[in-house]
Structures are given as structure tokens and as C-alpha cells.
Chains A and B, each alone.
Chain A
């Protein structure tokens, strides 16, 4: 008698176990990896902090902007790395009716601030200049210049563009 009952009991247990397996399939999960590698040389960025503004000038009057009012650029990059700074400078500012005003940049018109506005050293902005990023990866350079409006210059706004390029 016992031998006949056992297969039935085994079948019932198997059915219950099968139901347990099925209910486990109501949820499932999977895991993906996430990775990143921090490398040492940060990319360089350059931001204009201040334009070079000569204000109102009169014909025949030579005007030079003091260092603290000169153009300034904030450069960020890898801390303490050596960089080369160079400018593309205009020879004149363009105004109304095709008029121009000559602009010049002297050998000491490049400004390396450390920090602005209290301390700076000068360099020649007409050529490439070697500098070092500070310990935080910042570098602040500036430039000033001189305009010489000739007599008879037409009144109006005269503008030009200064471009700074920085490279490791």
C-alpha cells in the first residue's frame, strides 16, 4: 500500500515546486558596469573677462589704456603645466563710412596677472609668450594698447578684434 501512495505524493510535491519556480519569474534583474578614467591633462579653455575699451577719444589725441582697464582673458587648463600664449592683433579699428583708427601694441603691453588687479608682469604681445598655469589650473592674461585717431576722424564707434590662443 505504501508503495502505491508515494508516487502520488511525489507528483503533488512536484506540482507545487513547479509553481514556485514560475512565481520567481515575476521579477528579474541585470547589472551593467560603469567606468571612467580620469586623466591628467585638462583641456584648455579661454574666456574673455574684459574688453579693451578706449572710451571717448578725440582726433589727434593719442590714448593708451592703463593695465587695469585693459582686455583680460581667463585661461583654464592643467595645473602647473607650461603653455604658450599668442595674440592675433588688429592694426586698426574700423568705424563708420570706412573710417579707421590706427591701434598699436608695444613690447610691454602684454600683461600676466598674478593676481588681478594687484600684480602683473609684462610681455611682448606681438610674439608668442611662454607661461605656466597656476596650481589651480588658471592663468589670467591681459593686453593694453594705444590708439592714435588722426585729425579729421569721423565721429562714431570704432571696433576691432583681438584673438588669444593658448596651447600646451
Chain B
């Protein structure tokens, strides 16, 4: 390194440190999420009503093996906000709609650390929060009711459910 370049490096080195320092301090203060432990949301299972009869509502309970299942983790303690985007109905290839409803008893949150059978009911039609600790994973089970009309077209109906999870900056 020439003397001129060495002098320039000495002058710019503090700038380099200043440029990195805010990121490092921010990580210690946890004002930013931990890059090594990103928030993850996975759809583990679909909500499958199977065969349903015209004029006969069919309900899938949240802990049923046909209920939807989402897995959520963030890797450190955090408050999480959950919001489900629920369709009002399922659609057939021909465009017919099959009414779909969700209620307060259709959601069940189960912590990875919970004993089998434990869980907390939630209403998937409303946003709600839960605290996750450490490496714990949360499992959200979601059921619902399909209500075919007496004249419902015979067809296969399809729709999607989206779970949006936001970390609230713990």
C-alpha cells in the first residue's frame, strides 16, 4: 500500500465503522428482527371437506385430520399477530359458489411444548395475538363449515386460506 493510499484508508476507516455500527447496535437492542431466526409460516395441511351432500352443512372440527394446519416459528421470544384471509365460499370450475363459514370455535392454537390434546380456541375471523418463546413452534389448526344449498351444482369446489403473521417487535 502506498503512503497516499494508507493515509486515505486511515481517514475512511472510521466511516466504515460508523456505517456498520448502527446495524450491530440495533441487533443488540432487538429493534430489528434476528436475521438468523426469520419468521416462518408454513402450510402443513389443507382443509379438506371431502364429499358433501346438497342441502347438508358439513363441519370440520379444528383438530380433525381434515382441518388445515399451519406451523409458525421465529426462533426467539416475540409477540405475533395472526390474521387469516378467509374466503366466503369455494368456487367450482364452472363458477358456482359453495358457501363457506368460519366461527369462534373453528381455530385451535397448539404450542409445541403443550401436552397432547391441549390447545387454545381462537376465532379465525378476527386477528389475534400470541406470544412465542425461544425456539417454540406454534401450530394453528383451522376447521370450518361448508353449506351446500339444496340445488348446489355437483362439482369439485376449491378455494384458498392465507395466514398472515406479523412480529410485533418484542
Contact = CB atoms under 8 A, between A and B. Distances in A.
A137 B23 CA distance: 69
Interface string B20-49: 100100100000110100111111011111
A111 B43 CA distance: 55
Chain A residues touching B, range = 35 or more
Interface stretch (B103-111, B130-138, B158-166): B158-166
Nearest to A4: B8
Contacts of B54: 38, 40, 42, 78, 137
A25 B42 contact: no
B150 interface: yes
Judged by DSSP, the binding face of A is mixed
Interface in B125-170: 142, 144, 146, 148, 150, 152-167, 169
B43 A32 contact: yes
A30 B41 contact: yes
A77 B78 CA distance: 52
Contacts of A25: 33, 35, 38-39, 167
A1 B2 CA distance: 11
Nearest to B86: A34
A80 B55 CA distance: 15
Interface string B42-76: 11011111111111101000000000111000000
B70 A137 contact: no
A30 B169 contact: no
Contacts of B70: 30, 32
A27 B165 contact: yes
Given A11-B19, A12-B19, A43-B56, A35 B166 contact: no
A32 B68 contact: yes
Interface string A20-44: 0111011111111111111111110
A97 interface: no
Interface in B67-125: 68-70, 87, 90, 98, 100
B154 A33 contact: no
Contact of B161 (A4, A15, A31, A38): A31
A35 to B, nearest CB: 5
A37 B53 contact: no
Nearest to B164: A29
Contacts of B165: 27-29
Contacts of B33: 22-23, 25-26
B5 interface: yes
Interface of A: 1, 4-5, 8, 11-12, 15, 18-19, 21-23, 25-43, 76, 78-79, 136-137
4 residue pairs, one from A and one from B, having the closest CB atoms: A36-B49, A27-B166, A32-B43, A30-B43
